[in-house]
Structure 1
Amino acid sequence: MYEIINIDTPTLGDRSYLVHDGSTAFVIDPQRDIDRVLDLAAERGVRIAHIFETHIHNDYVTGGLALSQVTGAAYHVNRDDPVAFERVAVTDGDLIEVTPSLRVRAIATPGHTFTHLSYALAVEEDVVAVFTGGSLLFGSTGRPDLLGPESTDALARHQHASAHRLATELPEAAGVFPTHGFGSFCSATQAEGTASTIGAERSSNPALRMSEDDYVEALVVGLDVWPAYYAHMGPANTSGPGAPDLSPPALADAAELRRRIDAGEWVVDLRNRTAYASGHVAGSLNFGLDGSFATYLGWMIPWGTPITLLGETPEAVAEAQRELVRIGIDRPAAGATGGPGDWSGGEALHTYRRATFADLAGVAGREGVVVVDVRRRLEWEEDHLAGAIHLPLHELVARVDEVPEGEVWVHCRSGYRASLAASVLARAGREVVVVDDELTNADGAGLDVVRGAEVVA
């Protein structure tokens, strides 16, 4: 008997795994907030004996070392990774006996990184699963460009070979359990489905259906920018991150919030975009917990800027803290709960308009109206509004002064990113309208849409 339990982190697009036989367990790629893993093990009544790291992660801070220190579990990390802590050095072909009936074999699968490992699980004599980290994903693979452009081609070719090695060496019925691919920017493309097997990937995964050259060409052309905070994750994971401090931050009153805003710190309103637009503290920024909060905050913030969290409840602030420690932002400078009336200290609240693409169609082309599209490059190249300015969200903080004078109508694909951008623009003193609508409605609204070189009226 054995059980594989998914531990999902949907806001980052990642999964960790707890595997056990009813008494002894091992963990694959734990996230920083290890209390989730400990609670799950306690619920099942199992002892964590081993922890396996598939690679030095680029999109989150690992909890592997902290979990091993708390549990006494053996922490398995590739022998060739230059880490600054004691670990069990593992390499291709190593066989680890977790229990007499559960054995794990390390398989070198470079591609996402040069030292990437996958781990095949055998129950008795049968290989039943493989934990593929950022190697073979559901209908895709991990992206090969995170170590820099000079390594991208070589890693892409490694990724193709690694996918074929797994497909060749492992049985069709073996389950595939990746760490990335559920919305993570570590995935070359979005994953397909929520579960898979080696046999299913053999029949559908492009890495296993295309020649090496065709796969590499298609993979590299399809890569877009990745979050800026990724640059800090590798060094953090190599140095050996400890357990996070999730205790509540110090509470700030309205006067302190104003002081922090005026000092250029980030005071972040966690409410949804509708609530924020209807009334917020001037100079605060909106990163709603209802979207990819940590991904975009970590991507946009000048690294090291103090953060204060504004939530309607202590639970909202705690949720935001948990999200942030996963990407290495360990302690908020302060926090506050309640609502904008509590946070403003009597100052008038700021608002801005929310609109649809039909509303935009009524003003598009008028003098003094500026349309800004904050989606990423590949999205813009696929289609965009005629006459719009492209300014990707992740570049907006540094380039806000480049937005032409006028009333700024800002949009993305569905509204979340546009609201983040609107709060940045409003903080810079701009008159802003956020288009809180699906971009697919632009055609029906009568707006001209450019698709490739073609304008669709």
Structure 2
Amino acid sequence: MILKTIKTDGLAHLSYFLGDGNEAAVIDPRRDIEIYIEEARKRGMRITHIFETHRNEDLVSGAPILAEATGANVHHGPNPAGVVSYAETTREGDRFEIGSATIEVLETPGHTDDSLSFVLYDQSFDDGPVGVFTGDALFVGDVGRTDFYPDRAREVAGLLYDSLQKLVGLGDQALLYPAHGAGSVCGSGMADREFSSIGHERRNNPRLQFDDREAFIEAKLAEEHPTPPYFSLMEKLNLEGASAMRRYLLPDPVSPGALQENGKTQLVDIRGIADFLGAHAPGSFCIPDDMLAAFAGWLLDPGGEVLLISRNAQQAEAAVRTLGRIGFDHVTGFLPGIMPVAASGNPFRSVGVVDTQTVKSRLGSDGWTLLDVRSAEEFDAGHIEGAQNVYLGHLADRIGDVPSEGNVTVMCGSGARATIAASVLLKHGRSDIDVFLGSTKAWLAADHPVVKP
């Protein structure tokens, strides 16, 4: 019996390939399914089952695509929001055999109504399950968010509490296989590791320390989680079933003139923070390639065309794949770097940066705004006195909250999100912008005070 974890960087998504003998199953596949096909091929296995722990909100499911490619059935939980068109409904107590492995279904609602966990047994050993695939119900160090049903907030938080009791009841020996790791928007307190057990979580996971159901519910109701607008598209696609990713490896390179040809095209500079600060095309979003999965869904229209500005073809190719995983299928081309723009006489811009001492000297100055674009949770944990907080994901919608006159210095945790925010401000016509490079980390390293509630 083999079990392989397949991680999708950026989204911190974890899927699993389980096989024994000549049969295999895949749990929570991503949209680009080649990796599962190759894994089965090299092991001489046939994928016979596909399991989904829930309807994903943050990425496009590859289940219908993998089913079409392999002939395997997709198994999904009961879903009051609608029928998952490509799946068979499975319920608690259903059992499936993959060689000498047995998968038993456990209904674990709370994160979503259709949430399932899949309990793994080895038929050669009878003393309890080997592990459990928990989806977004239970993570390493955290539990799933419960804010997708705001009109039923108390009810679904209680459902998750009950589901967690089921999972803890599987026994300390059971290994934990969640659908996400640290960095996912589906939780905020995940440990930075991808291995654990029910026993370790029972003893150490803060959300499993509640003996009182009502206290757990109150704690969940007090949480604040960002909800990118593209989540609604993911929900729709993962009910209807998305098409396969476009199979080209690379969009066509374009000339600098393409930057001026279509004002509706979304220019996305993926090169990196330092590259954008040094020189960039006017009107471009700065979203570095390793932050695309986190912020493209906040800043871009998934139905609109995208033109990438990248360091090279390889970076553009990886970005196309990342964007496809979250439903952005309209990348029309890429421009290799900013030098062709400058050399052709087209305009380019740069963004100034400031250090800790400069920010300290500006505190209390008239006509100056320190804009902190971290989440409300991060901001409340400690911020510079006088800073204004607008979360990066909400900035475009709250642009009117940022003073239109005077200098604006943008900060975050390190300067990366601040640079993305600077590009948003520039696109909205603000000009007197600079970035606090190092941001909160630099401020704390200099032993300067922060304000806490």
TM-score band w.r.t. shorter chain: over 0.9
Query: How far apart in 2 are the matches of 1:431 and 1:208?
Result: 48
Query: How far apart in 1 are the matches of 2:329 and 2:155?
Result: 35
Aligned equivalent of 2:110: 111
Q: 1:438 to 1:408 in 2, by over 3 A?
A: closer
How far did residue 119 of structure 1 move? 0.4
Aligned equivalent of 1:341: 339
Greater alpha carbon shift after TM alignment, 88-97 vs 204-213: 204-213
2:141 counterpart of 1:142: no
The equivalent position to 1:255 in structure 2, one of 257, 261, 279, is 257
- Contact 1:174–1:197 (CA<8 Å) still a contact in 2? yes
Q: 1:420 to 1:192 in 2, by over 3 A?
A: closer
Question: Match of 1:449, SS?
Answer: coil
Which segments of structure 1 move beyond 4 Å, counting only runs of 4 or more?
Answer: 443-448
Aligned equivalent of 2:178: 178
- Contact 1:22–1:46 (CA<8 Å) still a contact in 2? yes
Q: Deviations over 1:118-151 (max 9, x none)?
A: 10111114421110001121122111112x3112
How far did residue 222 of structure 1 move? 2.5
Query: How far apart in 2 are the matches of 1:439 and 1:279?
Result: 24
Question: Match of 2:257, SS?
Answer: helix
Query: How far apart in 2 are the matches of 1:243 and 1:304?
Result: 16
Query: How far apart in 1 are the matches of 2:265 and 2:402?
Result: 22
Query: How far apart in 1 are the matches of 2:293 and 2:188?
Result: 20
Q: Deviations over 1:236-293 (max 9, x none)?
A: 1001112111413243321121223xx2432001111111111111111111113x22
1:347-386 maps to which residues of 2 (within 5 A)?
347-386=346-385
2:223 counterpart of 1:222: yes
Q: 1:443 to 1:205 in 2, by over 3 A?
A: closer
- Contact 1:246–1:318 (CA<8 Å) still a contact in 2? no
How far did residue 187 of structure 1 move? 1.8
Q: TM-score, normalised by structure 1?
A: 0.92
Aligned equivalent of 2:435: 434
Question: Match of 1:351, SS?
Answer: coil
Aligned equivalent of 2:131: 129
Aligned equivalent of 1:38: 37
Query: How far apart in 2 are the matches of 1:176 and 1:227?
Result: 27
Residue 331 of structure 1 aligns with an amino acid whose one-letter code is H
Query: How far apart in 1 are the matches of 2:164 and 2:253?
Result: 50
Q: 1:400 to 1:46 in 2, by over 3 A?
A: same
- Contact 2:265–2:306 (CA<8 Å) still a contact in 1? yes
Residue 134 of structure 1 aligns with an amino acid whose one-letter code is D
Q: 1:423 to 1:206 in 2, by over 3 A?
A: same
Query: How far apart in 2 are the matches of 1:328 and 1:382?
Result: 34
Residue 103 of structure 1 aligns with an amino acid whose one-letter code is T
CA root-mean-square deviation: 1.9
Query: How far apart in 2 are the matches of 1:51 and 1:70?
Result: 12
Question: Match of 2:229, SS?
Answer: coil
2:296 counterpart of 1:271: no
Aligned equivalent of 1:72: 71
- Contact 2:414–2:442 (CA<8 Å) still a contact in 1? no
Greater alpha carbon shift after TM alignment, 63-72 vs 395-404: 395-404
Q: Deviations over 1:383-410 (max 9, x none)?
A: 2222222221112122324321112110
Identity of aligned residues (%): 32
Aligned equivalent of 1:94: 94
1:234-313 maps to which residues of 2 (within 5 A)?
234-247=235-248, 248-260=250-262, 263-290=263-290, 292-313=291-312
- Contact 1:160–1:207 (CA<8 Å) still a contact in 2? no
Query: How far apart in 2 are the matches of 1:376 and 1:90?
Result: 37
Query: How far apart in 2 are the matches of 1:22 and 1:343?
Result: 56
Query: How far apart in 2 are the matches of 1:431 and 1:37?
Result: 49
- Contact 1:131–1:178 (CA<8 Å) still a contact in 2? yes
2:13 counterpart of 1:11: no
Question: Match of 1:19, SS?
Answer: strand
Greater alpha carbon shift after TM alignment, 59-68 vs 277-286: 277-286
Residue 105 of structure 1 aligns with an amino acid whose one-letter code is E
Q: Deviations over 1:49-86 (max 9, x none)?
A: 11000111111110001001001112111244633524
- Contact 2:302–2:329 (CA<8 Å) still a contact in 1? no
How far did residue 310 of structure 1 move? 1.4
Aligned equivalent of 2:24: 25
Q: Deviations over 1:330-370 (max 9, x none)?
A: 221x2223210213531232111122222211333333322
Query: How far apart in 2 are the matches of 1:246 and 1:409?
Result: 42
